[in-house]
Amino acid sequence: MSFFKRKDPNVLGIDISTSAVKLIELSRQGARYRVESYAVAALPENAVIDNNFADIEVIGQTVRTVIERSGTKLRQAAVSVTGSAVITKIVTIPIPSNDEELGAQVELVADQYIPYALDEVNLDYSVIGPNEKNKGMVDVQLAASRRENIDDRVAVLELAGLKAKIVDVEAYALENAYGLLQNAMPDYGPDATIAIADTGSTVTTLNILHKNKVIYSREQGFGGKQLTEEIQRRYGLTYEEAGMAKKHGGLPDSYISDVLDPFKDVMCQQIGRSLQFFFSSSSQHSVDQIILSGGTSSLPGIDALLEEKLGTPTTIANPFSQMTLAAKIKAQALSNDAPAMMIATGLALRSFD
C-alpha cells in the first residue's frame, strides 16, 4: 500500500476521524478544481479510540452512509493514518543503478530505523533527490506503519464497497491541501513559515510548513469532545444531544460566558503551547501565519481570539474558496464544514498528482 504514489486517477478523499467520516470528490478543468460530491456522517462514540479502529463494522457502515449521501460513483479511495502511527525518516543511500537495487537498499537502511520486523509493517519510500553534500548519494523519504493500521482502513473501505488505492499520512494530506489556501492568503514569499493547527474531536495536531513542506508536527490530546462533554454535564444531556446542541444551538444564554468562552481560551492556550514547543526546537523560524482547521476551528470568533492572544495573523481554513461546485452541492453546508475537510481534500487531490 503506497503512502506516496498514485497509479490511477479519480480517488475519493475519505477522512475517518474520531467523531466523523468525511468524503470529498474533486474534478479538475485546467487549473480550476470543482467539488463533485461531498458528505459528512457522524461516528458513534468509541468507534474510533486513540486513532485505532475499535469497531470496523460500524465504521464501514458509516463510510457506506457518506457514499450514499454524496451520490458519488467513484469506487477508489484515498485514506490516511495519523502521524503518531507512522515512522518517517529521510535517509541517504548510494545512487542505485535500477529500481530493484533502490528497493533493496531502502529495505536494508529501513531495518536500522524501524523498531519492528519489516514483515510487521507497510513500508513505502519516495526519492527526494541528490544529496546536497555528496553527489554520489541520494536522499530518500521513508514511511512505515504497522500492518494492522493499514489493514483496518482497507477493511473498512471494502465493507463500504470501495477499494483503498492510497493510504497517505495526515500531515502530507494537509500539506497537499495547503496549496489551495495560498491564493487567499497574504504573499509571504517563498520562505514563508505557516502553522496549521488542526483541532478535531480528541486531538490537536500542529503542523509547521516551511517552503510549503511540513518540517514539524506535534499531536496533543485536546479537542472538541471536551466541549461536548462539558455541555453534556452542565445541561444534563446525552452525549449525542450535547453534540447536536453544540452544532445547531438551543442552549441557555449562559452557555457562551460559562462554557464556550472558557473552552476557547483553553484552545488558544493549547495551540500557543504547541507553538512554544516548536519555537524551542527551532530558533531559525518564526511563524508568519496560523491556519485553523478541523471541526473545532468552526467555533465563532476563535480565529480573532487566537490572533489577539498570540499576535500572529490567523485565518480559518477553507480549501474550497477558489473552487466551483456541482449543482447538487449545498454551498452553505460545504462552507460550514470546510475547516474540517482539509485532510479529506488533500487526499482527494492525490487524483491529480
The answer on 265 and 209 residing in a single domain is yes
Residue reference for cell 500531515:
171
The answer on 305 and 210 residing in a single domain is yes
The answer on 190 and 139 residing in a single domain is no
- Pick the range with the lowest mean pLDDT from 14-28, 154-168, 184-198: 184-198
Q: How confident is the model at residue 86 (pLDDT cuts 50, 70, 90)?
A: confident
Residue reference for cell 444531556:
237
The answer on pLDDT for 349 being more than 60 is yes
Q: What is the mean pLDDT of the chain?
A: 91
The answer on 191 and 141 residing in a single domain is no
Gap between the Cα atoms of 342 and 321, Å rounded: 12
The pTM score is 0.88
- Is 286 within the bounds of a domain? yes
Helices (H), 199-284: 225-235, 239-248, 254-255, 261-281
- Is 328 within the bounds of a domain? no
Please tell me the predicted confidence (pLDDT) of residue 6. 46
- Pick the range with the lowest mean pLDDT from 73-77, 160-164, 186-190: 186-190
- Is 103 within the bounds of a domain? yes
- Is 70 within the bounds of a domain? no
Domain boundary among 120, 147, 174: 147
Reference 198, options 213, 215, 178, 227; nearest CA is 178
Gap between the Cα atoms of 60 and 68, Å rounded: 13
Reference 164, options 346, 341, 13; nearest CA is 13
Q: Which domain holds residue 119?
A: 85-147
pLDDT mean over 28-56? 91
Sign of CA dihedral 352, 79, 77, 19: negative
The answer on 200 and 139 residing in a single domain is no
User: The CATH number of the domain where 193 resides is what?
Assistant: 3.30.420.40
Beta bridge pairs of residue 27: 34
The answer on pLDDT for 1 being more than 70 is no
Domain boundary among 93, 122, 147: 147
Residue 213 makes CB contacts below 8 A (sequence gap 6+) with: 175
Domain boundary among 124, 147, 170: 147
The answer on 190 and 292 residing in a single domain is yes
Element (H, E) at 213: strand 213-220
Provide the grid cell at 81: 493514518
**Number of independent structural domains in the chain:** 2
- Is 99 within the bounds of a domain? yes
pLDDT, tens only, 88-142: 888 898 888 888 888 888 888 888 888 888 888 888 888 888 988 888 899 998 8
- Is 233 within the bounds of a domain? yes
The answer on 311 and 197 residing in a single domain is yes
- Is 128 within the bounds of a domain? yes
- Is 26 within the bounds of a domain? no
What percent of the chain clears pLDDT 90, i.e. is strictly above it?
63
What percent of the chain clears pLDDT 70, i.e. is strictly above it?
97
The answer on 243 and 137 residing in a single domain is no
